[in-house]
Each structure stands twice: as structure tokens, then as C-alpha cells.
Amino acid sequence: MKDSLKPGIEHSFSFTITKSVLVPALYPEADEFQLMPDVFATGYMVGLLEWTCIQAVNPHLDWPVEQTVGTHIDVSHLAATPAGLTVTVNVKLVEVDGKRLVFDVEARDDMDTITRGRHERFIINKEKFDGRIGNKRKKAGL
């Protein structure tokens, strides 16, 4: 972690919504999702928020040795977004508590605010993290 990782870091990222991030694409195995409207899925929206937060802090980490993982999300999905519209995410790092990072997040499509809330991430050492996941796989017999 670099000394530059401090509250106040802001970042914006824009993404044009395609069919690959609509509700029916969320779990192709789920018949229920296949019958739902063709709009930006909340699950993919959360991923877009995470992606933007990752982009915001990576320059302030020893990337890729240090990375961040999402640990908490508290957002509302306020408006539906069809394919073809662009969503712009704005994030601001508001708290650094050791390895815990807290962001204010907000996103808008071309017409409406679609989400706002908070997101928490933790800084990890990728090699150590992968080792713990490997141990978990072994214990599970995978």
C-alpha cells in the first residue's frame, strides 16, 4: 500500500450496457431470469461499481501483488437501464482503516440516477489469499 492511498480519491468510469449484462444473462440456468425484462441486472451493476472502485485504488497499491476484494455492498437500484445506454459510475474513497477501504458510490445512465450507496473493500496479498483458497478447496475435497 502506497502513502498516496488516502480518503478523497475519486474516479469515474463509463460503460455502455450490452445484452451480456441484462437480467436474462445473469444466470442462464435460471428459467426465472430468462422471462424477466431486458434491463441492466443488479448483479452486474454491483460488479460495475466494484470495477470502478478497483480502478480508483490500483494506482495506490503494489498491484498486482496487492489487490482488493469486495466485502460489503449497500446500494439501491433506483432505475432500470436498457441496452444501448451508457452508465457512468462515480466513486469516492471516504475511509481508509488499515486494509479496510470504504467508498461512496453512485451511477447514472443517460437519463437517471440508477444507484447510490456505499461499498467496502479489503486489501489482500494475492499470493496469500490464493493459498488460503487452495487450502479451502483441499478441505472440501475439490
Structure confidence by residue, pLDDT tens digits, 22-63: 999 999 999 999 999 999 999 999 999 999 999 999 999 999
Structural domains for the chain: 10-140 (3.10.129.10)
Beta-bridged to residue 108, according to DSSP, are 88, 113
Return the pLDDT at 24.
96
Is 50 in the active site? yes
Nearest C-alpha neighbor of 89 from the set 120, 68, 116: 116
Residue 115: other Cβ atoms inside 10 A: 24
Q: Which residue has the cell 476484494?
A: 69
Q: C-alpha cell of 13?
A: 468510469
Cell, residue 36: 424477466
Q: Which of 11, 66, 77, 95 is catalytic?
A: 77
19: left (phi over 0), alpha (psi -120 to 50) or beta: alpha
Q: Which of 10, 11, 18, 50 is catalytic?
A: 50
What is the block-wise mean pLDDT of the chain (142 residues), using blocks of 10 residues?
97 98 96 96 98 98 98 98 98 98 98 98 98 96 96
Burial 85-114 (b: 16+ CB within 10 A, else e): bebebbbbbeebeeeebbbebbbbbeeeeb
